[in-house]
Structure 1
Amino acid sequence: MTGQHVNSEQDITILGKVSTAFGIKGWVKVYSYTQPMTNILEYPVWLLNVNGQWKEYKLRDSRPQGKGLAAALEGINDRDQALALSQVEIGVPTSDLPELDENEHYWFQLEGLKVKHTDGQLLGQVKELFDSGGGNQVMVVTQCEGSVDKQQRLIPFVDAIVLDVDLDGGEVQVDWDPDF
């Protein structure tokens, strides 16, 4: 099962990445994009993007490690094998993700959406989201065709500012002063 190639047609959601090797027994340090970060451990099989190919790896063991996680994967038994996975993306089939509540979204669903002010001004589009610590997410909004200026904005992803997310319409409505 370990290292088996995966059908590349499959829709895959990135949940984190391997940062580097941990110790000498093949463990890896994991940077998780999930909230809370331990949610990534709920998936017994991870897809790792090794040299552009998605391969399956079974999660053997895991534990918290500093501000991140450490994980042991089946078939990865020494430091060299673990180091070979440095900076590799960790994904799961999108179909394996739990259904979200109506007002919840996965970060990957927001990337590329247009960001509009309540008065209709186009501020740009979502380039990415990141965790600023303390459980706060921030949207990185960059210019796009028709945006009000060429400025990059960091907009907190909180209810008071993000008023509506319309995945079908491809936009996020925010109460955020364009001059800020």
Structure 2
Amino acid sequence: MTDTQQRVAMGYIKGVFGIKGWVKVSASTEYSDSLLDYPEWLLSKDGNTLTVSVEAGKVAGDELQVKFEGIDDRDRAFALRGYTIEIPREAFAPAEEGEYYWADLVGMSVVNRDGIVFGQVKNLLETGANDVLVVEGAYGQKLIPFVSQYVGEVDHDSRTINVDWGLDY
């Protein structure tokens, strides 16, 4: 079993579809069908974890509909409602040069050019124009646009993001 620190939540099962075991999925990925790139999912809820294999999947409107192997009726599918979908981090494809998985950025320390540690990345926001780092620490919450104008080096080894951002911004 994969350590929970190495699993990334990618959405949840929000309901059932039809009578043959299909579920409706709310994906927290850029493209909902990208979850179908992973043949096995870990489902977790209330301390329980199940491993399921994706048999089939399709996008219908703005939702993802998925059929798991061995889940063949509405009742068994309904029992999965509310489970969080997790994917082992090691299953992710390598990020392209200059691109990052949000899951890798969360928890990193953010330091400006003057050596002031703002805190840690708690989340990222998608604004449409660009992503924004949500940083919390001793100086409160800072919202820093994740663009090259403000973000310098992202050092995976030291888990640090260097930014050109002032305390008074």
Same fold (TM over 0.5): yes
Task: Give the residue type in structure 2 aligned to 1:57.
Answer: V
**Residue 79 to residue 157, structure 1, CA distance change in 2 (3 Å):** farther
- The answer to whether 1:170 aligns with 2:164 is no
- The answer to whether 1:39 aligns with 2:34 is yes
Query: How many equivalent pairs are there?
Result: 168
Q: Per-residue deviation at 1:8?
A: 4.2
The aligned counterpart of 2:141 is 152
CA distance in 1, matches of 2:114, 2:168: 13
CA distance in 2, matches of 1:120, 1:69: 44
- The answer to whether 1:69 aligns with 2:64 is yes
The superposition leaves residues 109-162 of structure 1 with CA deviations (integer Å, 9 ceiling, x where unpaired) of: 212111122232222211122434x3743322111xxx3x2x222323223222
Q: Per-residue deviation at 1:22?
A: 3.6
CA distance in 2, matches of 1:130, 1:80: 36
Task: Give the residue type in structure 2 aligned to 1:141.
Answer: V
User: 1:59 is matched with which residue: 25, 33, 54?
Assistant: 54
Q: Which runs of no fewer than 5 residues in structure 1 stay unpaired? A: 1-6
Q: Per-residue deviation at 1:80?
A: 4.0
- Contact 1:11–1:95 under 8 Å retained in 2: no
**Residue 9 to residue 21, structure 1, CA distance change in 2 (3 Å):** same
RMSD (CA atoms): 2.6
Q: SS of 2:36's equivalent? A: helix
% identical aligned pairs: 35
Task: Give the residue type in structure 2 aligned to 1:98.
Answer: A
Q: SS of 1:152's equivalent? A: strand
- The answer to whether 1:179 aligns with 2:168 is yes
Q: SS of 1:57's equivalent? A: strand
- Contact 2:13–2:85 under 8 Å retained in 1: no
CA distance in 2, matches of 1:41, 1:47: 13
TM (norm. structure 1) is 0.76
The aligned counterpart of 1:20 is 14
The aligned counterpart of 1:100 is 95
Choose 12-21 or 37-46, whichever is displaced more. 12-21
**Residue 131 to residue 63, structure 1, CA distance change in 2 (3 Å):** farther
Choose 11-20 or 115-124, whichever is displaced more. 11-20
TM (norm. structure 2) is 0.80
- Contact 1:20–1:83 under 8 Å retained in 2: no
Q: SS of 2:94's equivalent? A: coil
- Contact 1:20–1:86 under 8 Å retained in 2: yes
